[in-house]
Structure 1
Amino acid sequence: MRPILTLALALFSLAFVGCDAAKKSNFAGRWISKETRVDKGIISSDRTDIIVRTLSLDSNGNGSLNITLNGRVTQSANGKWSVLNDVFFLDYENGQTVYLRVIRITGERLVIRNPDGSERIYDRLQ
């Protein structure tokens, strides 16, 4: 029984590393995620909001996360970034940190899990 369990764990870890290898060099670049949200109005017409999240990461460890709502910056975080296993983090002013759980990263896409359990897809900008 034990050899089967060991083999299963080894295959699971290889599958995880093969799909979700989170090397720092894979993250460097610019990433963008766009979301359209429609709020249904009771009295007035529907309101559409466009939320754009931009993640800019350089190979020296400097990074920024900007969130805009209808073209206006609502949040901005600049600082040092790193990756540890499947967790991406950005340390910024006053010792605060943004943590993102990485589900998958490829040459074109970065998929993270939000705190509510949903997934957000970032596309790499060329």
Structure 2
Amino acid sequence: MKATPIRYSADVEATTRFFTALGLDVDAVSRPGSWVELAADAGTVAVHRAAPGDEGRCELAFEADEPLEAVAERLRAAGFDPGPVIDESHGRSIRVQDPDGVWVQINRNDRRLFT
């Protein structure tokens, strides 16, 4: 599994410029420009357009390399309650709360869907 923190920004273009100045490389960009993935040596940072009030918020996400149903089964066996697998524009995802109640997203991306 690869860590992919999601940074919510009021200005995706400016935040992308910031992270590229740090040395990350633009990897994937949505057609409307509402999100960008930036590759680093040890993972990816995703920048998403923030809803009002969410500017600056970060969310921990992971990209799974196995079926999400298997991840959800392991979480349930460990006593956690993941939500349903959801079809998204980038593939599929599940969300689950960690022991502190913080939401974590696990994605199984389908690169063919990226635009």
Q: Larger relative contact order (C-alpha < 8 A, sep ≥ 6)?
A: 2
* Higher share of residues assigned strand: 1
The TM-score by the shorter chain falls in which range? Answer: under 0.3
* Higher Rg: 1
Report the TM-score when normalising by structure 1: 0.23
